[in-house]
Amino acid sequence: MKNIKLTQYASLLLFLFGTFSCTNLDEEMFDRIGAGNYYQSKDAIIASLLRPYEHAHWAGWDGDRWIAQELTADHFVWTQKGKHGYDGGQWIRLHQHTWTPEEGVVFGVWSGLFGGVSLCNNTMQDIEALDYSQFNMTEAEKQAHLAEMRVLRAWFYVQLLDAFRNVPISTNTTDVVPQSNAQEVFNFIETELKEAAPALPTNTDVANITYTGRFTQAAAMTVLVRLYLNAEVYVGQSKYAECAAICQDILDGKYGPYSLDPAWNGPFTYTNDASSEMIFAFPQAMNQWEMSWMYNTAMHYNAYQILGTPNKFGGGWNGIHLTPSYDLEGNLYSESEGYEQGMPYEKFYEDDLRKQPFKYTGDGTYEGMFLIGPQYKLGTTDPVLGTEEYNGKQLVFVDQVGRFSEGDAGLQKGSAVNLGEENSGARLLKFPWFPDDTPYALDPDAPEIRLSEIYYSLAECKYRAGDVNGAAALLDAVRERAFPADKWASYSYSQGAITLNDAEFVDEWGREFLGERRRRTDLIRWNRFTNNAWWDKEPSAEHRKYFPIPFRALNANPLYKQNDGY
């Protein structure tokens, strides 16, 4: 089944490069194929539709966009580890909210998302000029394809609004336009989604496993859920009632059948394309599309020994890990020390199945989602050794950051982003890495939209409306699968074991969606991004809730103006 959907993404994109030759000798197109020559069949149209999706996959799950959402928030940090990882101080600035308009990451967010907008516009412009009857296709199919690109473009624009607020609204490939304000961008996204979504298929119209990676009605409406859930932040208007109504429609099956996966790791393992809760995912497979970037940035230089991946990866870059839960003396950070947020590993409850150390159990199955504690070579009791501060000693990942290898002199330096070591921090393996010699290696799809998001979004709407019991029931419906049946009563919100308040709700968003590129947005919505402190990060100015317009963008277009505060 995986090969079917990858054919949609891979072979049809290769169609661009291998099918046509130029027949008009008067034109010299050495770097591109003219639209008149390219669109010779239905396959060419589908390939053109898929190209913006491929870019969306990269823009969403590879590099700057993920970094901007996660390294500016309280869950992840890229520490300097001795001589490694300083990188001009950019990771320190992101963590401590002192970034500038010159940051490469900020420009990467801008250019990556607008690159997607441009691709959608280009495809739409080409399709609008085509006579679909020449390809044995209907006008309804044409309108559905145009609608699909409008929704994908809106997906890019929600992220642009979230990151920058004031951005240009581009709907074609030729006009140069000034920035629109946040309200205008919000209205544009809302209109696009409402008008375009009905032309898309529902989950009952398509075989879900072969349509993975393209927008359906439920996926489009989830983008609208994201817009409405954060409307107070974006435009100062409450849209929680509207958000709740869409969530309820999705849960009621208005856009096709979806259901929660019975296993906590069902939406993340190599068969997640068939998970009943997957609303929208980007297809992946080794050597085609894969989240290797996440492996490289987070994994230790010798992680291939732990995971059995020597053929695909020699070793990672040993950069990103969870922010620490414990201080240098081994005490849990607390609110009394000014750390209202963070401590993600210890925010997981003790019996939570996800908190267990990652262990490959064979045949594409695994337990836990963290590398923590002493590390061993896959399938053995042979220790994995360090290469830097702990060269020749067993690698032991600790939920702390400090120069422990330097003894008292190192500990006197304190705990900070620039004081890490090669064993600092728990490493996330929520998106599992299986051994090279298995058919499951690097196969899990990127879970862009899960039904769990609808449950949590509706729960938040109910909670904000005062229906705490209704919110608790929705959260519990998802949470229960992460606990042993005989322990569940000790952790249920509905049964009163744990009190659901603001702080707990924010922590619960973090547990369920750890590493899924949304933490910054969630903290801002709960007013805990700039106002609150966490490890090695003090409260910051209000304008840090959005990014500056990159200097490179300002220099390229005199119509643009810098955002307030920068």
Q: pLDDT tens for residues 273-288?
A: 899 999 999 998 777 7
Residue 295 has pLDDT above 90, yes or no: no
Residue 382 has pLDDT above 60, yes or no: yes
Ordered alpha helix ranges (H), 433-563: 451-464, 468-479, 502-512, 519-525, 551-556
Q: Where are the domains of the chain?
A: 2-282+550-556, 284-444
Q: Which residue has the tokens 């994109």?
A: 13
* pTM listed for this prediction: 0.93
Determine the straight-line distance between the first and last CA of the chain, rounded to whole angstroms. Answer: 49
SS3 237: coil
pLDDT for residue 35: 60
Is 52 in contact with 121 (CB distance < 8 Å)? Answer: no
Tell me the per-residue pLDDT of 408-459, one tens digit each, with 9 for 90 and over: 999 999 999 999 999 999 999 999 989 988 888 777 899 999 999 999 999 9
pLDDT for residue 1: 38
Residue type, 432: P
Q: Which of 61-65, 215-219, 506-510, 520-524 has the lowest mean pLDDT?
A: 61-65
Residue 512 has pLDDT above 50, yes or no: yes
pLDDT for residue 336: 67
Tell me the per-residue pLDDT of 189-199, one tens digit each, with 9 for 90 and over: 999 999 999 99
Is 137 in contact with 144 (CB distance < 8 Å)? Answer: no
pLDDT for residue 478: 98
- How far, in Å, CA of 560 to CA of 167, rounded? 8
Q: Please tell me the CATH code under which domain 2-282+550-556 is placed.
A: 1.25.40.390
Task: Calculate what percentage of the chain has a pLDDT beyond 90.
Answer: 82
pLDDT for residue 212: 64
Tell me the per-residue pLDDT of 456-469, one tens digit each, with 9 for 90 and over: 999 999 999 999 99
Name the β-bridge partners of 322: 76
Side-chain-side CA neighbours of 465 within 13 Å: the count stands at 19
Tell me the per-residue pLDDT of 542-559, one tens digit each, with 9 for 90 and over: 999 999 999 999 999 999
Name the β-bridge partners of 564: none
Q: Which residues contact 71 (CB under 8 A, 6 or more apart)?
A: 77, 78, 91, 94, 95, 320
Residue 3 has pLDDT above 50, yes or no: no
Strands 320-322 and 76-78: antiparallel
What stretch of H or E contains 90? helix 90-95
Residue 481 has pLDDT above 60, yes or no: yes
Tell me the per-residue pLDDT of 245-270, one tens digit each, with 9 for 90 and over: 999 999 999 999 999 999 999 999 98
Residue 498 has pLDDT above 90, yes or no: yes
Q: Among 251, 259, 256, which Cα is nearest to 277's?
A: 259
Residue 307 has pLDDT above 80, yes or no: yes
pLDDT for residue 448: 96
pLDDT for residue 213: 87
